[in-house]
């Protein structure tokens, strides 16, 4: 089985993000980038399928953020092919609809049986990359997947519905799956193995022209969160604290 996995770089939310001068986007010039969590699960699921059934795992990524380290880490884990799509803007990734068309063009040259993509990313509005890739390829799509097993030329896919209801689907190949979680947590790879992969693995670059696209949702303005008021610490005896709480509740109209 030939499996393709899309890896995305997203801003690390441990550090605060600043709004740029236009007021309509984040200033990512000083941001730290990390591998998108659900894409890491997509890679793990691809490696599990390879280990169970054999095959080849190709990893695709846009040249954005700290992507080379993520690609070399994927090679250290067991990926067979690394492909990077050049992208000129280091401070802004393309909209997912544009990225989907670029990935689809590259995927047609790789011709995989299965494409695995994280079902969401925190820098996307609605987690649309995976279904958009499926539409571009005219392939079936199942999202919010929590496990995949190969079975006689098809896949048994475990999909999660709201309320933690799980359902199993039989999916014919080729197909695109949006992974929420792999069957096991993403494996740890030591730094020494990543450094070894840097010496042996090759990252191929393939030019893909971004399509023209007019967004259906336009950002009018971004605002940083407004700091809340400081908490009031109540001191005194138990009776005094109780009286103050009652007074506050009455002020808010919660006591009659």
Q: pLDDT for 17-75, tens place per residue? A: 888 889 988 888 888 999 999 999 999 999 999 999 899 999 999 999 999 999 999 99
> Which segments of the chain does DSSP mark as H helices, in order?
37-53, 67-77, 96-110, 129-137, 191-200, 238-251
Q: How far apart are CA 152 and CA 196, in angstroms?
A: 36
Report the chain's C-alpha Rg in angstroms: 23
pLDDT in tens, the chain (256 residues): 999 999 999 999 888 888 888 998 888 888 899 999 999 999 999 999 999 989 999 999 999 999 999 999 999 999 999 999 999 888 888 999 999 999 999 999 999 999 999 999 988 878 899 999 999 999 999 999 999 998 877 899 999 999 889 999 999 999 999 999 999 999 999 999 999 999 999 999 999 988 888 877 888 999 888 877 778 889 999 999 999 999 989 988 888 7
pLDDT of the residue at 214: 80
Q: Say which CATH superfamily domain 2-205 falls into.
A: HUPs (3.40.50.620)
Whole-number Å distance between alpha carbons of 59 and 57? 7
Determine the Cα–Cα distance for residues 167 and 18; give it in Å rounded to an integer. Answer: 41
Where along the chain do its domains lie?
A: 2-205
Distances (CA, A) of 1 to 21, 78, 154, 155: 47, 15, 11, 11
Q: What is the pLDDT of residue 241?
A: 94
pLDDT at 79: 98
161 Cβ partners below 8 Å, 6+ apart? Answer: 144, 167
B/e letters for 62-88, b = 16+ CB within 10 Å, e = fewer, are bbbbebeebbbbbbbbbbebbbbbebe
Q: What is the pLDDT of residue 215?
A: 78
User: What average pLDDT does the structure give for the chain?
Assistant: 92
Provide the pairing of β-strand 175-179 with 141-151.
Answer: parallel
């Amino acid at each position: 089985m030939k499996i393709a996995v899309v890896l995305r770089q997203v801003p690390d939310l441990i550090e605060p993000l600043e709004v740029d001068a236009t007021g309509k986007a984040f200033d990512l010039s000083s941001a730290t980038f990390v591998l998108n969590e659900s894409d890491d699960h997509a890679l793990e699921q691809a490696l599990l399928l390879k280990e169970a059934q054999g095959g080849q795992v190709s990893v695709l990524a846009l040249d954005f953020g700290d992507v080379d380290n993520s690609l070399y880490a994927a090679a250290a884990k067991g990926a067979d092919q690394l492909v990077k799509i050049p992208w000129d803007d280091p401070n802004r990734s393309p909209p997912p609809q544009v990225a989907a068309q670029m990935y689809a063009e590259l995927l047609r040259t790789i011709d995989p049986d299965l494409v695995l993509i994280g079902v969401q990313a925190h820098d996307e509005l609605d987690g649309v990359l995976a279904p958009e890739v499926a539409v571009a390829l005219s392939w079936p799509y199942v999202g919010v997947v929590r496990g995949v097993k190969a079975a006689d030329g098809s896949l048994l896919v475990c999909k999660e519905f709201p309320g933690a209801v799980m359902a199993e689907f039989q999916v014919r190949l080729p197909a695109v799956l949006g992974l929420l979680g792999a069957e096991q947590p993403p494996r740890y790879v030591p730094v020494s193995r990543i450094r070894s992969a840097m010496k042996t693995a090759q990252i191929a670059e393939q030019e893909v022209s971004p399509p023209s696209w007019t967004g259906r949702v336009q950002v009018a303005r971004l605002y940083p969160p407004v700091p809340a008021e400081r908490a009031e610490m109540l001191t005194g005896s138990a009776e005094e604290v109780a009286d103050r709480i009652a007074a506050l509740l009455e002020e808010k109209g919660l006591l009659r």
